[in-house]
C-alpha cells in the first residue's frame, strides 16, 4: 500500500525534522563543512579518547590506553588446513561461540579468476560454489586463552564485500560482482547472497545462492527481526545503485538454513521511490543537503530480479525509483536500518558530498539523513573524515564507521549530537615514502560482550582486535 502524501505529512509533523530515535543512536548530525570537527582536547565537553599515537610497528595508531592484537594476517597466519589466510578482508560480524569463544565470519573481497590472487580462499571440498572464483568467507574462532583457529566457511564466490548478520546467528555474505558464467572465466552466474553458519560447518556444505534477493552488485544486508523484511544495498553507477526491500512469502518462518528451502522467486523484491514533504519525487539521495531531511518511501516491484537480460537497476525508467552513489554498509539498530552512501560526485544529480548516513524507519516508512560529510578538501591531511563504508552501532552510544576514502584512513565515531572523533588510524603504508598509500578499513564490529572492537585493514588483509578504556561518549 503506497504511503500517501497526507500520511507522510502527518508522520513528519509528529516526529519533527530530526526524528529523535530511542536507543543507542539518536539524531546524528555532522555539518557539511565540519570535516575536521574531531574533538581531542581534555575539556569538559571533550568527546572521543584523545589524540592518536603513531604505532612503532607501523600498523594501527590508537589513543593512549588502547592496544590492538593481530588476529589474522594474509600470507602469515594459516587456516586449520594449512593454507595461508586469504587476502582482502572486508565485511565481518561476531557471534557467541561455545565455551566462551568468539566466532567471526570474515569476507574476502577477491574478484575474478583465482590465478589473479596469491592468497585466494581455498577450495575446501563441499564448500565450493564456483571453482573458478577466488572469493569467499573464513570463520575465525578466538578462544578465551587467546588462541585463534580459522577455517573456510564458503569458497568459490566472487568479490565478497559486506553482508550482514541474522537474528538467528548466521552471516549473509554478499557478492559485489555480477559476472555471468563465461565472463572472466566464471563457470556459474554471480551477484548473489549466500548464508554462512559460523557454528555449524555441515550447514555450509553445497552452497546455495539465495536468488530471491536478486542478482546485482550486492553490498550489505540487514534483517528486520520484527517484520521479517530484508534490506539490501547495491554499490553501482551508470546509473547509480539502489536500496532494496525483500518481503518474505506469507507464513515463512526464519531460522538457520530456512532460506535454502525457498524458491528462487520467493517473496517480493522492491526498490524505493522517495518523495519530500511536499509530495515531490526525489530522484537521488544526493539531493539532500541538510541533516534532518526526511523523505517518505514507497516501494516499487523489481520486474526481473535475476537480471537475465538487463541489470536490475536499469529496469526502471525515469521518475520510478530513487538512487544513490556507493550505497555501502548497513546496520540494524534502534528498530531500523542505518544506511551509508560513501560519496557523491559528478555521477549524482544533487550536491557533492563525502558521506551520508541515512536511517530507514520501517514503521513510519521514512528515510532521515543523520550524518552528512562535506567534500574533504585534502584527504592526505590527517584530521578530516571522508568516504564512510562499513558501519556499526556502538554499545557506548553513537556510530562507528570505517573509512574507505582517499588519503589517510580511519575508524571514527559519530555521537548523537553529530560530533565526530577518531578511534584508529591505519599506519600501514602499502605505497612508497614519496607517495604513501593506506588501505581502507572494513568489517568494523564489536564483540558480543562489547569489550573488543574488531576491524579489518583490507590490503594486505589483517583482522585486528582493539581493546581499551571504552566509555559512553558525551552527547550519546
CATH number for 124 = 2.120.10.30
Task: Return the CA Rg of the chain.
Answer: 21
Residue 249, all three cell numbers: 512469502
Domain range for 93 = 60-465
Handedness of CA 104, 109, 112, 114 (dihedral sign): negative
In a domain, 303, yes or no: yes
d(Cα 244, Cα 217) in Å, to the nearest integer?
A: 12
Q: Answer whether residue 47 is part of any domain.
A: no
What is the Cα 256 distance to its own chain's centre? 22
Quote the CA–CA distance of 153 and 259 in Å, as a whole number.
17
In a domain, 304, yes or no: yes
CB 111 within 8 A of CB 448: no
288 vs 192, 215, 313, 324, 344, CA distance in Å? 30, 28, 21, 11, 11
**What gap in Å lies between CA 223 and CA 244, rounded to an integer?**
12
Q: Grid coordinates 581502507 are at which residue?
A: 440
Assigned domain for 181 exists:
yes
Separation between Cα atoms, residue 45 and residue 419, nearest integer Å: 11
Three-class DSSP category at 295: strand
Residue spans of beta strands (DSSP E) within 200-302 = 218-223, 230-234, 243-247, 268-275, 281-282, 294-301
Backbone angles phi, psi at 142, to 5 degrees: -105, 115
Answer yes or no: is 2 within a domain. Answer: no
Domain count of the fold of the chain: 1
Flag whether 41 is in a domain.
no
Identify any residues that bridge with 107 across adjacent strands, giving them in sequence order. 137
Q: What are phi and psi of 260, to 5 degrees?
A: -60, -30
**Residue 395 located in a structural domain:** yes
CA distance 456 to 339: 20
Burial of 50 (0-12, 13-18, 19+ CB in 10 A): middle
pLDDT digits (tens, 9 = 90+) for 157-169: 999 999 999 999 9
The answer as to whether 145 is a domain residue is: yes
Stated pTM of the model: 0.92
Sequence-distant (6+) residues with CB within 8 A of 290 are 369, 372
- Residue 11 φ/ψ, nearest 5 degrees: -70, -40
One digit per residue, pLDDT tens: the chain, 476 residues?
A: 555 444 544 444 433 332 222 223 333 333 333 333 344 333 446 889 999 999 999 999 999 999 999 999 999 999 999 999 999 999 999 999 999 999 999 999 999 999 999 999 999 999 999 999 999 999 999 999 999 999 999 999 999 999 999 999 999 999 999 999 999 999 999 999 999 999 999 999 999 999 999 999 999 999 999 999 999 999 999 999 999 999 999 999 999 999 999 999 999 999 999 999 999 999 999 999 999 999 999 999 999 999 999 999 999 998 999 999 999 999 999 999 999 999 999 999 999 999 999 999 999 999 999 999 999 999 988 888 999 999 999 999 999 999 998 899 999 999 877 678 999 999 999 999 999 999 999 999 999 999 999 999 999 999 999 999 999 987 77
Amino acid at each position: 500500500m503506497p504511503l500517501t502524501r497526507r500520511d507522510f505529512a502527518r508522520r513528519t509533523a509528529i516526529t519533527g525534522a530530526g526524528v529523535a530515535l530511542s536507543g543507542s543512536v539518536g539524531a546524528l548530525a555532522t555539518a557539511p563543512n565540519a570535516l575536521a570537527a574531531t574533538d581531542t582536547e581534555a575539556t569538559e565537553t571533550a568527546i572521543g579518547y584523545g589524540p592518536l599515537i603513531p604505532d612503532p610497528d607501523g600498523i594501527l595508531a590508537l589513543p593512549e590506553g588502547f592496544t590492538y592484537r593481530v588476529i589474522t594476517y594474509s600470507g602469515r597466519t594459516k587456516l586449520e588446513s594449512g593454507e595461508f589466510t586469504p587476502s582482502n578482508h572486508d565485511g565481518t560480524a561476531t557471534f557467541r561461540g561455545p565455551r566462551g569463544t568468539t566466532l567471526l565470519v570474515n569476507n574476502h573481497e577477491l574478484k575474478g579468476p583465482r590465478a589473479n590472487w596469491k592468497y585466494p580462499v581455498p577450495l575446501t571440498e563441499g564448500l565450493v560454489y564456483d571453482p573458478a572464483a577466488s572469493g569467499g568467507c573464513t570463520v575465525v574462532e578466538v578462544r578465551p586463552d587467546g588462541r585463534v583457529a580459522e577455517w573456510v566457511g564458503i569458497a568459490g564466490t566472487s568479490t565478497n564485500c559486506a553482508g550482514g548478520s541474522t537474528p538467528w546467528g548466521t552471516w549473509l555474505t554478499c557478492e559485489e560482482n555480477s559476472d555471468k558464467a563465461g565472463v572472466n572465466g566464471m563457470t556459474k552466474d554471480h551477484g548473489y547472497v549466500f548464508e554462512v553458519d559460523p557454528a555449524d560447518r555441515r550447514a555450509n556444505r553445497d552452497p546455495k545462492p539465495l536468488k530471491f534477493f536478486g542478482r546485482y552488485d550486492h553490498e550489505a544486508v540487514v534483517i528486520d527481526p520484527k517484520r521479517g523484511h530484508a534490506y539490501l544495498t547495491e554499490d553501482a553507477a551508470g546509473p547509480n545503485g539502489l536500496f532494496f526491500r525483500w518481503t518474505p512469502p506469507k507464513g515463512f518462518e526464519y531460522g538457520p538454513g530456512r532460506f535454502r528451502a525457498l524458491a528462487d522467486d520467493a517473496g517480493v523484491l522492491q526498490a524505493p521511490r522517495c518523495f519530500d514533504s511536499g509530495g515531490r519525487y526525489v530522484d537521488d539521495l544526493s539531493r539532500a543537503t541538510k541533516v534532518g531531511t526526511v523523505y517518505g518511501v514507497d516501494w516499487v516491484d523489481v520486474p526481473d530480479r535475476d537480471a537475465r537480460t538487463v541489470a536490475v537497476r536499469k529496469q526502471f525508467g525515469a521518475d520510478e525509483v530513487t538512487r544513490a552513489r556507493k550505497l555501502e554498509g548497513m546496520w540494524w539498530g534502534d528498530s531500523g536500518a542505518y544506511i551509508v552512501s560513501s560519496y557523491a560526485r559528478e555521477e549524482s544529480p544533487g550536491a557533492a558530498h563525502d558521506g551520508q548516513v541515512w536511517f530507514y524507519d520501517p514503521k513510519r516508512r521514512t528515510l532521515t539523513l543523520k550524518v552528512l560529510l562535506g567534500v574533504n578538501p585534502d584527504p592526505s591531511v590527517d584530521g578530516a573524515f571522508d568516504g564512510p563504508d562499513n558501519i556499526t552501532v556502538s554499545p557506548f552510544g553513537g556510530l562507528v564507521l570505517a573509512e574507505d576514502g582517499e588519503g589517510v584512513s580511519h575508524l571514527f565515531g559519530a555521537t548523537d549530537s553529530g560530533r565526530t572523533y577518531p578511534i584508529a588510524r591505519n599506519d600501514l603504508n602499502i605505497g612508497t615514502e614519496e607517495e604513501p598509500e593506506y588501505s581502507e578499513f572494513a568489517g568494523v564490529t564489536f564483540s558480543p560482550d562489547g569489550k573488543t572492537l574488531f576491524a579489518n585493514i583490507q590490503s594486505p588483509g589483517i583482522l585486528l582486535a582493539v581493546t581499551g578504556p571504552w566509555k559512553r561518549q558525551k552527547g550519546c
